[in-house]
Amino acid sequence: MDGASAELGFESECVLASDINDEANKTYQVNFGLDPKGDIAKIEADEIPDHDLLFAGFPCQPFSIIGDMKGFSDDRGTLFFEIKRILMKKRPQAFVLENVKQLRGHDGGRTLQHIMHVLQFELGYQTQWQVLNALDFGLPQKRERIVIVGFREPRPFAWPQGGLPMTPLSEILLPNDEVAPFYEASDYIREKRAVHHQADTEPTIWHENKSGNISKLPYSCALRAGASYNYLLVNGTRRLTEREMFRLQGFPDSYKIVSAYGAARHQIGNSVPVPMIQAVLKRVLESLSTEVPPFENGRKQGQFVFERRVEYV
- Which residues sit opposite 16 in a β-bridge? 305
- Kindly state the DSSP code that residue 226 receives in the 8-state scheme: S
Closest CA to 278 of 139, 129, 172: 139
- Which SS3 state, helix, strand or coil, does residue 87 take? helix
- Which SS3 state, helix, strand or coil, does residue 236 take? coil
- Kindly state the DSSP code that residue 121 receives in the 8-state scheme: I
Q: Which amino acids are annotated catalytic?
A: 60
- Which residues sit opposite 295 in a β-bridge? none
Q: What is the 3-state secondary structure (H, E, C) of 136-174?
A: HECCCEECEEEEEEEECCCCCCCCCCCCECCCCHHHCCC
CA separation for the pair 140, 207 (Å, rounded): 14
Question: Is the separation of the CB atoms in 93 and 53 below 8 Å?
Answer: yes
CA separation for the pair 206, 219 (Å, rounded): 9
